Amino acid sequence: MLKNLFYAWLILLPIIGTAQNNTGIPIPMKKGIIYYEKSFPVVGGFRKQDFYNAVMQWSENSFPDVIVGFAITTDYISCDGAFKIITNQAHIFTLKFKLEVALNDTGYTIRAYNFYENSNVIGKSHEYSKIEYRWWDYRQGKPWSADDKPLFKGLDSSMTAMFASFRSYPLILKSARLAHTPKFKVLALFSTNVEADHVDFAYDAIKFYKNMADEKGFAFDTTSNWENLNDANLKNYKIVIWLNEFPHNEPERRSFEKFMDGGGSWLGFHVSGYNDKDTHWPWFVNFMGGAVFYDNNWPPLPAKMIVDDNKHPVTKHLPKNYTAPINEWYGWRPDPRDNKDVKVLVTLDPVNYPLGKKDVIKSGDMPVVWTNTKYKMVYMNMGHGDKNFESPLQNKMFEDAVLWLAR
Ligand code: ZN
């Protein structure tokens, strides 16, 4: 008997799957069965166990008669939920269903399916039975009784309420915001005793990258104590960012060299790439692709940019040309473009010349963003003043650089 039912069900499946729903009750279906599914993004990620604990607590509060306990697989947590629907015939139906909450990198998905009904109607079996047969007949205009309409309406509104309750359950919200296992760790170093415009940028950058870290699920630590640039501490980090400063003493420089030679990543802004005859750090000049600071414009100005490569992961979201917000732009001699290991990604457009009033740049090739392909590094000349994050386009590059360096 069971076997026969099973085969009957198999034959029915394709028919149900394509049937139209003209009932006005928006019960969703998938592969022939009633199937509720909704995905929700989560900003900041979460620890799996915290989230599952929250799901269990919510379920226990929501379905006092959970019939089967919780099962946790690598992909989801599931349980059997049940709720009652009282129809206008004063009949009580218990609906039982499978509930699943699955986790992924960007959020969670709730699914409810395998609905069974059990009614207290006199003369009816008190066994649970699959609800799809009844739903099929109802859709064909052949309801089993006056209970059908309120039953299916009740099913749909219970599901809507259930999803809403899940979404707003305090522990779910809290666990979704909880500290998560970061995908990677970033250390940003800055200084507060440098040019005011350079400090402004550092604080803006910290705010920007902290937000990004929350969204993308990585750790972002900051320090203005450059002694943290030491071997033991750097072991914790995938990426080091310099926000308008560079190490001035030998131990910090050696640790940084070791970090980079050992496969670490670096993102440097503006004056972080500065070097001249007085900085006495040949390793760093080489690291920068041979580029030595040569000149700058003044006052800081917005400038048109040429994007040299729109396919590179760092610049893939930029158009061929865009206008960068106000910045002080640096010229370099020798030109890093002349180094075969350097890949220039963004260049100051010559249409900007003459650029400046007090200090005027009149000509010359001015790479603005580049990478020395011998290292996992990106240098960006942006970083002077408090306007650098005003271009959503350019901000995308600031993000993409970190994602690329984390590879
Ligand atoms: Zn500057």
Tell me the per-residue pLDDT of 3-58, one tens digit each, with 9 for 90 and over.
444 443 444 444 444 445 788 899 999 988 999 999 887 655 567 777 888 888 88
Among the ranges given (33-37, 111-115, 161-165), the one the predictor scored with the smallest mean pLDDT: 161-165
Q: Are residues 255 and 399 in the same domain?
A: yes
Q: How confident is the model at residue 349 (pLDDT cuts 50, 70, 90)?
A: very high
Q: Are residues 254 and 376 in the same domain?
A: yes
Q: How confident is the model at residue 253 (pLDDT cuts 50, 70, 90)?
A: very high
Q: Are residues 131 and 208 in the same domain?
A: no
Higher per-residue pLDDT: 17 or 65: 65
Distance 315 CA to ligand 1 centre (A): 23
Distance 193 CA to ligand 1 centre (A): 14
Distance 197 CA to ligand 1 centre (A): 7
Distance 330 CA to ligand 1 centre (A): 9
- Looking at 127, 146, 177, which one is the last position of a domain? 177
Give pLDDT tens digits for 179-214.
456 789 999 999 999 999 999 999 999 999 998 887
Dihedrals phi, psi of 355, to nearest 5 degrees: -110, 115
Q: What is the mean pLDDT of residues 374-388?
A: 98
Distance 384 CA to ligand 1 centre (A): 4
Give pLDDT tens digits for 305-336.
999 999 999 999 999 999 999 999 999 999 99
The alpha carbon torsion through 389, 391, 396, 402 (nearest 10 deg) reads: -30
How far apart are alpha carbons 307 and 305 in whole angstroms? 6
SS3 at position 60: helix
Given a cut of 70, is residue 405 above it in pLDDT?
A: yes
SS3 at position 262: coil
Distance 205 CA to ligand 1 centre (A): 14
Distance 316 CA to ligand 1 centre (A): 26
Distance 53 CA to ligand 1 centre (A): 50
CATH of the domain at 328: 3.40.50.880
Token pair of 15 as six digits: 């028919």
DSSP 6-46: HHHHHHHHHHHHH----SS----EETTEEEEEEEEE-SS--
pLDDT at 50: 78
How far apart are alpha carbons 90 and 35 in whole angstroms? 27
Q: Are residues 242 and 113 in the same domain?
A: no
Given a cut of 90, is residue 70 above it in pLDDT?
A: no
How far apart are alpha carbons 398 and 327 in whole angstroms? 15
Q: Are residues 196 and 148 in the same domain?
A: no
Distance 36 CA to ligand 1 centre (A): 56
Distance 219 CA to ligand 1 centre (A): 28
Distance 102 CA to ligand 1 centre (A): 48
CATH of the domain at 115: 3.30.530.80
SS3 at position 101: strand
Token pair of 44 as six digits: 């900041």
Structurally, how many domains does the chain consist of?
2
Q: What is the mean pLDDT of residues 338-364?
A: 97
Distance 296 CA to ligand 1 centre (A): 9
Distance 233 CA to ligand 1 centre (A): 28
Q: What is the mean pLDDT of residues 248-275?
A: 98
CA angle 247, 335, 392 (to 5 degrees): 70
Distance 61 CA to ligand 1 centre (A): 58
Q: Are residues 254 and 170 in the same domain?
A: no
Q: How confident is the model at residue 99 (pLDDT cuts 50, 70, 90)?
A: very high
Distance 326 CA to ligand 1 centre (A): 11
pLDDT at 88: 84
Q: Are residues 144 and 280 in the same domain?
A: no
Distance 328 CA to ligand 1 centre (A): 5
Q: Could you list the residue range(s) of the whole structural domain that residue 245 is in?
A: 185-405
The string over 198-237, giving b where at least 16 C-beta atoms fall within 10 Å of a residue's C-beta and e elsewhere, is bbbbbebbbebbeebbeebbbbbebebebebbbeeebeeb
Distance 184 CA to ligand 1 centre (A): 30
CB 32 within 8 A of CB 14: yes
Q: Are residues 328 and 216 in the same domain?
A: yes
Q: Are residues 166 and 235 in the same domain?
A: no
Q: Are residues 346 and 289 in the same domain?
A: yes
Distance 402 CA to ligand 1 centre (A): 22
Question: Distance of alpha carbon 31 from its chain centroid, rounded?
Answer: 31
pLDDT at 10: 40
Distance 406 CA to ligand 1 centre (A): 27
Q: Are residues 113 and 36 in the same domain?
A: yes
How far apart are alpha carbons 252 and 233 in whole angstroms? 11
Distance 276 CA to ligand 1 centre (A): 15
- Looking at 177, 211, 239, which one is the last position of a domain? 177
The number of helices, as runs of H, and strands, as runs of E, in the chain is 10, 18
Q: Which residues contact 337 (CB under 8 A, 6 or more apart)?
A: 344, 365, 367, 370
Higher per-residue pLDDT: 156 or 74: 156
- Looking at 177, 202, 230, which one is the last position of a domain? 177
DSSP 291-310: --EEEE-BS-EEEEEEES-S
Higher per-residue pLDDT: 68 or 152: 152
Given a cut of 60, is residue 102 above it in pLDDT?
A: yes
Distance 221 CA to ligand 1 centre (A): 23
pLDDT at 21: 73
Give pLDDT tens digits for 284-308.
999 999 999 999 999 999 999 999 9
Enclosing H/E stretch for 170 = helix 170-177
Distance 13 CA to ligand 1 centre (A): 68
Distance 283 CA to ligand 1 centre (A): 23
Q: Are residues 255 and 383 in the same domain?
A: yes
Among the ranges given (70-84, 221-235, 239-253, 276-290), the one the predictor scored with the smallest mean pLDDT: 70-84
Token pair of 245 as six digits: 């400063």
